[in-house]
Amino acid sequence: MISYELSQPGVVILENYNLRGQRVRTLVNERKLPGIYRVSWNGCDNKGKQLTSGLYLCRLQVEGFIKLGKVVFQR
């Protein structure tokens, strides 16, 4: 589960990348109101293909602010 909080409205882009820096999944790409959000990821890429277990990078972008984190996916 990936969670984030917005203090003001804005366009949110939440994406997962493999360790080679390749984007594998876009989880959120839309305007959101202030609040707390939780997003689950089933381990599939944008084409619906199941990815391997391992470490992935998570990138959250909101109105020019960018935060990176790590996500461990296990089947």
pTM confidence score:
0.91
> The domain spanning residue 52 has which CATH number?
2.60.40.4070
Supply the pLDDT for residue 66.
97
Q: What are phi and psi of 69, to 5 degrees?
A: -150, 180
Residue range(s) defining the domain that contains residue 27: 2-73
For the stretch 8-54, pLDDT in tens is: 999 999 999 999 999 999 999 999 999 999 999 999 999 999 999 99
Render 32-70 in DSSP notation, one character per residue: E-SEEEEE---SB-TTSPBPPSEEEEEEEEETTEEEEEE
Residues whose CB is less than 8 angstroms from the CB of residue 20 and which lie 6 or more positions away in sequence, other chains included: none
Count of the separate structural domains present in the chain: 1
